[in-house]
């Protein structure tokens, strides 16, 4: 069953788009959310994994219904930055070959991906849908109204809604950078100025799965219930063939730890 | 009252608009079913979004019990198309203007709100 947030968004769209069919609105909702999460870096996950001696390349286990977008940071157990690249989303390549086993924590951004929910809706955190509901509606309206030869085609309104959506994306990106803290600096300590720079590199070692170990990660305050519910559902839906994944999701400055 | 769920519902409602409710009928079931199939093809051309997920295999109906997979908002439009195509036939009971009205109404309902 679709969440309250999804139902509210769909009702808003149905009212504003007479003649539009639900399946097309779901398709454009997916496209809009994909744009939104890719451009804002809003949806983040922290994954902890162990390095192997001599291995530079590490493939992260795929997360259900989401895809990795970019690597925000990679730190070791002392909180120091580790240089790495992620040319292919989900595959982290360390700049230097590790000569010891160490625990690293990668912070990555996510976007929506298959599989969808039973009702064919994209799956993403409810808090994001709730907080940016009107902006997401703007994005879908802009896309729908820009289609040719439809009862709801409207070039002027399409431009209006698309511009509103792009403005909202910029605001959301800034809020994500500031971790939803009012008056905070718009940046955290930039990793490019850490002890070592993120150099390029080519994979030189075998692929290794991510472990589910959460030990040693400093946890910010817990997230609220709705996100916890989302994560619980997400964990329950994990395919049993995948290795366990540990993650932390940010929610208005808080983080929920799961393992 | 039928809500245009199945091929049979379309045929029954089309016969009312065509004044063809008494057997033996002027328009056979097979002709009206073919009109439904032609209407689906026209919907694919005018509004591909109505057949999202069916592009590789456009639905084709053969018996009255088949469920017609058309969004409820556009079922009446398809009914008008079925009637319009039936009235295009060269027949002493047929009026070309009536056929034109039905087919135009189908097209305008596909593409505009106020139709």
Task: Indicate whether A107 pLDDT > 90.
Answer: yes
ipTM for the complex? 0.90
Q: Indicate the pLDDT class of residue A190, thresholds 50, 70 and 90.
A: low
Q: Indicate the pLDDT class of residue A256, thresholds 50, 70 and 90.
A: very low
What mean pLDDT do residues A157-178 have? 96
Among A175, A192, A232, which Cα is nearest to A42's? A175
- CB of A193 closer than 8 Å to CB of A57: no
Among A129, A116, A58, A132, which Cα is nearest to A89's? A58
Question: Are the Cβ atoms of B53 and A18 closer than 8 angstroms?
Answer: no
Sign, CA torsion A125/A127/A130/A134: negative
What pLDDT is recorded for position A236?
Answer: 58
Task: Indicate whether B41 pLDDT > 60.
Answer: yes
CA distance B82 to chain A (A): 20
Taking the Cβ of residue A15 and every Cβ of chain B, the question of whether any pair is shorter than 8 Å is answered with no
For the segment A73-106, what is each residue's pLDDT rounded down to a tens digit? 999 999 999 999 999 999 999 999 999 999 999 9
**Cross-chain CB nearest to A23 (options B52, B111, B113):** B52
Q: Indicate the pLDDT class of residue A225, thresholds 50, 70 and 90.
A: very low
Q: Which residues of A touch B52 (CB under 8 A)?
A: 21, 23-24, 27
Phi and psi, residue A36, nearest 5°: -60, -50
What mean pLDDT do residues B45-72 have? 95
**Cross-chain CB nearest to A151 (options B53, B71, B112):** B112
CA distance B27 to chain A (A): 31
More confident residue, A19 or A228: A19
What pLDDT is recorded for position B114?
Answer: 81
Distance CA B13, CA B73 (A): 16
Q: Indicate the pLDDT class of residue B27, thresholds 50, 70 and 90.
A: very high
Taking the Cβ of residue A14 and every Cβ of chain B, the question of whether any pair is shorter than 8 Å is answered with no
- CB of A131 closer than 8 Å to CB of A251: no
Phi and psi, residue A256, nearest 5°: -105, 130
Query: Residue length, chain A?
Result: 259
């Amino acid at each position: 069953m679709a969440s309250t947030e999804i139902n509210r968004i769909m009702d808003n769209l149905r009212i504003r788009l007479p003649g539009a069919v639900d399946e097309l609105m779901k398709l454009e909702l997916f496209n809009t959310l994909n744009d939104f999460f890719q451009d804002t870096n809003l949806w983040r996950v922290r994954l902890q994994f162990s390095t192997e001696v001599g291995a530079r390349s590490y493939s992260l286990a795929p997360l259900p219904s989401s895809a990795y977008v970019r690597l925000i940071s990679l730190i070791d157990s002392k909180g120091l930055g580790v240089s790495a690249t992620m040319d292919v989303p989900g595959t982290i390549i360390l700049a230097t070959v590790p000569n010891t086993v160490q625990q690293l924590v990668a912070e990555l951004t996510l976007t929506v991906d298959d599989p969808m929910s039973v009702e064919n809706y994209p799956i993403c955190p409810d808090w994001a849908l709730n907080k940016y509901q009107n902006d997401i509606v703007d994005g879908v309206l802009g896309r729908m109204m820009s289609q040719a030869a439809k009862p709801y085609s409207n070039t002027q309104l399409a431009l209006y809604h698309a511009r509103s959506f792009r403005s909202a994306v910029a605001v959301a990106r800034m809020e994500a950078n500031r971790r939803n803290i009012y008056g905070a600096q718009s940046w955290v300590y930039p990793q490019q100025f850490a002890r070592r720079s993120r150099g390029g590199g080519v994979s030189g070692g075998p692929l290794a799965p991510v472990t589910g170990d959460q030990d040693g990660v400093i946890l910010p305050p817990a997230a609220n219930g709705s996100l916890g519910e989302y994560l619980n559902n997400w964990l329950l839906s994990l395919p049993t063939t995948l290795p366990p994944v540990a993650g932390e999701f940010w929610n208005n400055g808080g983080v929920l730890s799961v393992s | 009252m039928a809500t245009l769920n199945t091929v049979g519902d379309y045929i029954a409602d089309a016969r009312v608009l065509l004044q063809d409710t008494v057997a033996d009928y002027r328009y056979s079931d097979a002709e009206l079913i073919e009109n439904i199939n032609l209407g689906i093809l026209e919907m694919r051309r005018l509004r591909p979004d109505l057949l999202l997920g069916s592009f590789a295999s456009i639905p084709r109906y053969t018996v009255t019990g088949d469920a017609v997979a058309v969004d409820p908002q556009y079922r009446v439009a398809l009914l008008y198309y079925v009637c319009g195509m039936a009235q295009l036939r060269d027949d002493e009971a047929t009026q070309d203007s009536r056929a034109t009205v039905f087919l135009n109404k189908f097209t305008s309902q596909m593409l505009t709100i106020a139709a």
